[in-house]
Amino acid sequence: MIYLQLGLWGYFNYGFGPVMPLLRDEQGTSAAAASLHSTAIAVGAVAGGALYPVLSRRYGRAAVLWGGQAVIALGVLAFVTLPPLYPVTLALTALIAVAGITMIGGIVAALSDRHGPAGPAAISEANAVCCAAGLLAPLAVGATMRAGLGWRTGFGLLVGLVALLALVAYVRRVSVTGGPSAATAVDSAPRRPLPGGYWLAWSMMTLTGAVEVVLSMWAASVLRDRAGMSPGVATAVMSAVVGGMFVGRLCGARIALRVRSIPLYLCALAVSLAGFAVFWSATGPVVAVVGLAVLGLGNAMHYPLAIALALGAAAGQADRAAGVASYSMAVSFGAGPLALGLVADQVGPHTAFLLIPLLLAAAAALALRITPTPVPTPVPTPAPAPITG
């Protein structure tokens, strides 16, 4: 159930970027103004990160997760039914981000607590499900556009998916981690400073998060201008990135059980750089899509490894560390696309995309400063047991 809840956030997250150029066309805004939607997500991430530890202690993780799902569904419903006024879409984007980031805090903390040494693998598997759902979003939006139904129909499918998941959970009486865990109890104790290793991993999440959001929000524009794709096709083929991430996280979950996190992280950065080189130099649609798929394959393990390193460095403060980790997402969504949008207004999105290799190089430099961690020992999967709370 936790995996599927993250998957529904993935539908929004990976579907939102490709519809941004379409929304920008409707609103008639500049690239920099359109990128303020990512700033709205950043503001929501800060609020969600601050709210999660408080809400988790007071109501439990289950209430946080389902409450987040409900707010996301209502926000998306308003997004696709209300007039596309710029202030309205900005406010709704921030609201959805608050719910989503709060929910992510509960997801990563619950998986890390429940799976222990296999936490990186569990988080990677969860994010693979997230990518699988996100893979459907650009395809759904592109398909409804080609069918003449508009992008809102495909984007709004998320509302029905949230309702369906809640119905299944109710009928099957499935309960996620609901009560305060051992980590939550520790989090209620007097706070200790988060260690330096945590902040290095936090910074890595910030840099690679900026790569992912910049790619999500602006790659479709490059495909339209550079590879000559129509808006609908360019939106649909963004699924190549998410498809690469799905494969990377599914396979990476197994590799993460046997390979140290830092070497695996550096390999992932190298794959991302190779994919970017192919995508950025391509002048035809086929090569560009191949580059995007390879780029997604590399991007797949950036977040799962970095968040696992961060939570491992902050042992005993899982909920607090997960909440603070969302601030890195705020910086990524706020600074990355805005910087690229400002540059793109001057030189075009294609040249502005050279920001990506710089971010990858900076993330590699930070990773090399983290003390290597031992190879995690695979743990046997316990028999399913009812979880109450």
What is the chain's mean pLDDT, rounded?
A: 80
For residues 119 and 304, the model is more confident at 304
In a domain, 149, yes or no: yes
In 3D space, the residue among 208, 282, 234 whose CA is nearest the CA of residue 21 turns out to be: 234
In a domain, 389, yes or no: no
In a domain, 381, yes or no: no
Mean pLDDT score, 321-345: 76
Q: Which of 140-144, 235-239, 267-271 shows the lowest mean pLDDT across its residues?
A: 235-239
User: What pLDDT is attached to residue 298?
Assistant: 92
Element (H, E) at 223: helix 196-226
**pTM of the full structure:** 0.68
Identify the domain containing residue 348 by its residue range: 2-367
Q: How confident is the model at residue 389 (pLDDT cuts 50, 70, 90)?
A: very low
| Residue-by-residue DSSP string for 63-93 | HHHHHHHHHHHHHHHHHHHS---HHHHHHHH
In a domain, 383, yes or no: no
For residues 380 and 136, the model is more confident at 136
Q: State the DSSP code for 387.
A: -
- Rounded to whole angstroms, the Cα distance separating 181 from 53 reads 12
In a domain, 274, yes or no: yes
93-121 pLDDT tens trace: 889 989 988 888 888 777 877 776 677 77
Provide the CATH number for the domain around residue 125: 1.20.1250.20
For residues 313 and 35, the model is more confident at 313
User: What pLDDT is attached to residue 251?
Assistant: 85
In a domain, 338, yes or no: yes
In a domain, 85, yes or no: yes
- Rounded to whole angstroms, the Cα distance separating 221 from 200 reads 32
In the chain, how many domains are there?
1
- Rounded to whole angstroms, the Cα distance separating 34 from 44 reads 17
- Rounded to whole angstroms, the Cα distance separating 352 from 331 reads 19
Q: Given a cut of 90, is residue 219 above it in pLDDT? A: no
Per-residue CA distances from 89 to 23, 103, 116, 339 (Å):
9, 21, 40, 21
Q: Given a cut of 80, is residue 90 above it in pLDDT? A: yes
Q: 10 Å Cβ neighbour count for 299?
A: 28
In a domain, 382, yes or no: no
Q: Given a cut of 60, is residue 387 above it in pLDDT? A: no
